[in-house]
């Protein structure tokens, strides 16, 4: 009875786009989970290993939360970790994990991916006036804690070797943010993402009171603000962002 009531409150024109939003969120969380699991396997430090497992479990919880709510609303999102963009993110992360580069992995997962997750979930949460929106908002807040947690650690790294750290973040930005830039571009620069169940959801975001430019802009704002807080040179990070695709 409750389920019937809940499914009825999603307007028909929003059903498709919300399904795709959940598909992207679940896939993204599973990528995050896998990333941390891979990192746990590749690093030697016991404490870092334990922390990675904890983070992986946290992302698993988020993925399950999104899957549960999709089921509750009788939505069938596509979950495809081999879709172009998410697979590219995963391969990018694995490159650093295989090199046992804990800091590199942290920058990809806790800065780049979490900034996009926190900002986008927040925007979706604000736009959807229902239980799904509330879940997005709640997970956004949890993911925010991950960013906060990484900032202290990355500030220490910056102080140890300023130039080396800046160069490292620049390399990672070029590797990973380029993928995120393509993913959030106005048109699919690399073809279909493999997660949207039909045409690209970007064209229908307005049905859920969302605007791609604002979503992308807010995510970039949080990413740049986070780099600022870590202490990276602002004129450089601006230059990096200005060279992103899309």
The reply on whether position 242 binds another protein by CB under 8 A is: yes
How many residues touch another protein under the rule CB under 8 A: the total is 22
Please state, in angstroms and as integers, the Cα–Cα distance from residue 93 to each residue in 39, 168, 181, 199, following that order. 9, 14, 16, 28
Calculate the CA 93 to chain-centre distance: 13
Does 245 participate in binding another protein (rule CB under 8 A)? yes
| Site for another protein contains 151 (CB under 8 A) | no
Q: Which stretch binds another protein (CB under 8 A): 8-16, 73-81, 124-132, 220-228?
A: 220-228
In this structure, what token pair is assigned to residue 245? 């695709």
213 binds another protein per the rule CB under 8 A: yes
Q: How far does Cα 122 stand from its chain's mean position?
A: 12
DSSP for residue 207 = G
Instruction: Select the residue interacting with another protein from 162, 164, 198, 199 (CB under 8 A).
Output: 162
Asked if 163 interacts with another protein (CB under 8 A), we say: no
Among 35, 151, 162, 165, residue whose Cα is nearest residue 87 = 35
Please, are residues 122 and 134 in contact by the beta-carbon 8 Å criterion? no
* Choice between 45 and 186, CB closer to another protein: 186
Q: Which stretch binds another protein (CB under 8 A): 17-25, 56-64, 71-79, 223-231?
A: 223-231
The continuous run of DSSP H or E covering 30 comes out as helix 12-42
Binding of residue 156 to another protein (CB under 8 A): no
CB of 156: closest distance to another protein in angstroms? 14
Least distance CB 224 / another protein (angstroms): 5
State the virtual CA torsion across 71, 72, 75, 78 in degrees, nearest 10.
Answer: -30
Return the number of the residue (63 or 172) whose C-beta is nearest another protein: 172
User: For another protein, which stretch binds (CB under 8 A), given 6-14, 69-77, 132-140, 212-220?
Assistant: 212-220
Decide if residue 68 touches another protein (CB under 8 A).
no
The tokens for 30 are 């599973």
- Tokens 């949080």 sit at which residue? 222
Supply 192's token pair.
């279909």
Q: Closer CB to another protein, residue 46 or residue 187?
A: 187
> Half-sphere exposure of 84 toward its Cβ, with a 13 Å CA cutoff?
13
Cβ at position 211, least distance to another protein in Å: 10
Residue 189 CB, nearest approach to another protein (Å): 9
Q: Is 152 in the site for another protein (CB under 8 A)?
A: no
- Answer for the pair 106, 150: CB distance below 8 angstroms, yes or no: yes
Binding site for another protein (CB under 8 A): 162, 186, 213, 216-218, 220-221, 224-225, 228, 234-235, 237-239, 241-246
């Amino acid at each position: 009875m409750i389920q019937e009531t809940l499914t009825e409150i999603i307007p028909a024109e929003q059903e498709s786009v919300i399904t795709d939003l959940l598909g992207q969120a679940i896939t993204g969380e599973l990528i995050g989970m896998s990333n941390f699991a891979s990192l746990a396997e590749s690093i030697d430090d016991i404490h870092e290993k334990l922390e990675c497992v904890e983070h992986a479990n946290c992302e698993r919880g988020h993925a399950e939360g999104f899957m549960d709510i999709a089921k509750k609303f009788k939505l069938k999102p596509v979950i495809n970790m081999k879709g172009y963009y998410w697979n590219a993110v995963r391969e990018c992360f694995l490159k650093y994990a295989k090199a046992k580069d804990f800091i590199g992995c942290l920058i990809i997962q806790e800065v780049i991916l979490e900034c996009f997750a926190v900002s986008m979930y927040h925007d979706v949460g604000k736009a959807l006036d229902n239980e799904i929106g509330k879940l997005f908002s709640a997970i956004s807040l949890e993911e925010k804690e991950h960013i906060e947690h990484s900032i202290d650690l990355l500030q220490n790294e910056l102080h140890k070797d300023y130039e080396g750290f800046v160069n490292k973040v620049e390399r990672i930005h070029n590797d990973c943010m380029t993928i995120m830039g393509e993913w959030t571009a106005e048109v699919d620069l690399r073809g279909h993402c493999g997660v949207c169940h039909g045409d690209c959801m970007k064209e229908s975001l307005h049905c859920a009171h969302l605007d791609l430019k604002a979503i992308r802009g807010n995510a970039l704002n949080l990413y740049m603000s986070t780099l600022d807080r870590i202490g990276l040179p602002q004129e450089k990070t601006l230059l990096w962002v200005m060279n992103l695709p899309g």
